[in-house]
Structure 1
Amino acid sequence: MSQPVYTSIPDTSDANYWEIKSHSEKHQSSTFVPRDKELHQQLKAKAWVEIQASLDRKRRNY
């Protein structure tokens, strides 16, 4: 089975993209961590550009 092509950061239910890191058994907390950190950085950068482009000029943060 081939890897899906991602054009945006998927929902945390996508087990191909995310892995679960468990922390301390006492608190039973867990965090979703991207399996491919480089891809995740690229998708975050793309999302940031799209968000900034959709804002009014006065509200942009770049």
Structure 2
Amino acid sequence: MATSTQSQVIKSGQTATFYTPQAGGKQVSTPGEYTGYIDGQITAPVPGNLDDGHSKTVTLK
């Protein structure tokens, strides 16, 4: 499994891009279907959780 942990400050109305694996991280080489999942937290103005998000599924042959 490829994983990464990243923190970014995203202001209202902005977007961010996350990469897994991160540069220099272990690369995925086993054939299969892969989907990225994220979770996040809102820290201000009112703390809370974001809905889970996911990327498009990619097939590695």
Structure with higher RCO (Cα < 8 A, 6+ apart): 2
Say yes or no: TM over 0.5.
Answer: no
Radius of gyration: which is bigger? 1
Report the TM-score, using the length of structure 2 for normalisation. 0.28
